[in-house]
Structure 1
Amino acid sequence: MNLFDTHTHLDAPQFDEDREEIIQRALDAGVSRMINVGFNRETIPSTMKLAETHDFIYAAVGWHPQDAITMQEGDLEWIASLCSHEKVVAIGEIGLDYYWDTSPKEIQHHVLRQQIGLARELKMPIVIHNRDAHEDIVKILREEKASEVGGVMHSYSGSWETAKLCLNMGFHLSFGGPITFKNAKQPKEVLAQVPMDRLLIETDSPYLTPHPFRGKRNESAHVRLVAEAAAQIKGVELEEIAQITTQNALERFGIV
């Protein structure tokens, strides 16, 4: 098995007691590569440390919409400087979050536009966080010409109509634990229609834990459960989903 967890947070404090054991468990489960995501002043350095310590861990760095209000002068230049690192493969996670009231919408919009502009300048793919902001996300991606770099709609939760708009802008759609939930009708319906060459899988660990471990801490080894669910929805073998999603990730993030 050759699985790729395209979105994880192994530097989260939930893993402070057993981080290396969690990483080894992922390897034992057939997870050959992972992308750890640094999204603010605290997590970007710890993400870089993980990527530099482990050959099979890559980094995405950006400013999360929940933390948009904390972004200061010089932070965009900091992200830009890190993008020259051989292990940094994307700018993210960036986007909009209208669920948590932690940063005003206008500030979220400004920070997102800044980072898309940086991605276009550096020719880096972007990883989009979108919670309850589908219309505005599509609008900003279009206005900022994000199709020039493309990227990933992380933990996709929108409709098929929105998915088609994102696919037309060159984005891949990534799915995680929710596709294993009995009541998650929409993500399953969307995944069933996504072209195989635009499909990615992830855990977003320690969050969004798949069934049958829902409610417990998530970990990268559980990306196999996501792959199993995706295989069932697509009507193909697990090995095919693993092979295709890994190849998609390697191509999307420019990993040789």
Structure 2
Amino acid sequence: MVKKQHQQQVYDSHTHLNDDVFYDDVPAFINRAAHYGVTEMNIVGSNKVLNARALKLGHQYSQLHPIIGWHPEDIASWNDETKKELQQQLLDPLVVGIGEIGLDYYNDEYSPHQRQQEIFAEQLEWAWKLKLPVSIHCRDALADTYEILRNAHVDKFGGVMHSFNGSAEWAEKFMNLGMMISFSGVVSFKNATEVHEAALAVPLEKMMVETDAPYLTPLPYRGKQNEPGFTKFTVDAIAQLKQLDAGKVAYKTFENARQLFLENEERGL
């Protein structure tokens, strides 16, 4: 049994219990998370299979909240059929956001930039119509992501920059658009200087925390498979950086996530 480490409630704003490595043992990972104080989690999709799983988990477990959308690395499977299915799925009242969507220029062999941008912009239009916040994936594409979000008037529906890895200056630019900034386990890495500077620059009022599990495991478990409970260590890393009480960081990031995803008054959730 995992020893309980943290009493303050923590909200993992972006995790993947719908991933193969978790999906057959979800209750165990929910229980492990609870031992670390992680009591709410956004389960984020990205394609046909992972979106369906996120929805299924949201209907099975009240503390799991589905976010569904089409990831830029999955655009090869974007077609009229999958698009129509996603549009129908977004009408499910348990869906709390659209994501993860955005741009990924790291390896664009199968994901041309122009096509990524078109699908990203289309999903942002849906977010505006449905008044759903967005969870944004951005890799090596800060400038284009910023311009597309600005042109989409993201301040009208809100969202979060998931696992932010840009500079403090870019964090400020996205916050000025009305975006929240979420930090993953990368903020605990000793050599992640730019992310540390961004975390110092982002006020708690604009911040969330996440695991992106099974990826980006924070210290002290870096090198092992990540899991939602380890959001606690991201909270601790931010608290140490900002010289704040970890309970204060947990409380405020929890409230920020609840306000954006679970207390969407415009949609009546």
Q: Please confirm whether the aligned pair reaches a TM-score higher than 0.5, indicating the same fold.
A: yes
For the pair 1:105 / 2:110, whether they are aligned, the reply is: no
For the pair 1:71 / 2:75, whether they are aligned, the reply is: no
Q: TM-score, normalised by structure 1?
A: 0.96
Bigger mean CA deviation after superposition, 83-92 or 56-65: 83-92
Write the letter of the residue equivalent to 1:238: A
Q: What is the alpha-carbon distance in structure 2 between the residues aligned to residue 78 and residue 147 of structure 1?
A: 27
* Cα pair distance change 1:16/1:150, threshold 3 Å: closer
Q: What is the alpha-carbon distance in structure 2 between the residues aligned to residue 140 and residue 236 of structure 1?
A: 34
Write the letter of the residue equivalent to 2:181: L
> How do residues 74-89 of structure 1 correspond to structure 2 at under 5 angstroms?
74-89=81-96
Bigger mean CA deviation after superposition, 221-230 or 72-81: 72-81
Structure 2 alignment gaps of length 5 or more? 1-7, 264-268
Post-superposition Cα deviations, 1:191-228, rounded to whole Å, max 9, x if no partner, equal 11112111000000000001121111100010000000
For the pair 1:51 / 2:63, whether they are aligned, the reply is: no
Q: What is the alpha-carbon distance in structure 2 between the residues aligned to residue 96 and residue 145 of structure 1?
A: 17
Q: What is the alpha-carbon distance in structure 2 between the residues aligned to residue 107 and residue 71 of structure 1?
A: 10
> How do residues 121-200 of structure 1 correspond to structure 2 at under 5 angstroms?
121-200=129-208
Q: What is the alpha-carbon distance in structure 2 between the residues aligned to residue 131 and residue 207 of structure 1?
A: 15
For the pair 1:221 / 2:221, whether they are aligned, the reply is: no
* Cα pair distance change 1:148/1:45, threshold 3 Å: same
Write the letter of the residue equivalent to 1:250: R
Count, aligned residues: 256
Q: What is the alpha-carbon distance in structure 2 between the residues aligned to residue 9 and residue 120 of structure 1?
A: 25
Q: Secondary structure at the match of 1:42?
A: helix
Alpha-carbon shift at residue 75 of structure 1 (Å): 2.9
Bigger mean CA deviation after superposition, 172-181 or 100-109: 100-109
Q: Kindly, what percent of the aligned residue pairs are identical? A: 38
8 Å Cα contact 1:76/1:115 also seen in 2:
no
Structure 1 alignment gaps of length 5 or more? none
Among 87, 95, 104, the alignment partner of 2:102 is 95
Q: TM-score, normalised by structure 2?
A: 0.92
For the pair 1:35 / 2:42, whether they are aligned, the reply is: yes
Give the equivalent residue in structure 2 for 1:119. 127
8 Å Cα contact 1:125/1:253 also seen in 2:
yes
Post-superposition Cα deviations, 1:57-78, rounded to whole Å, max 9, x if no partner, equal 0010000000122111143333
Post-superposition Cα deviations, 1:156-179, rounded to whole Å, max 9, x if no partner, equal 011122111110111000001101
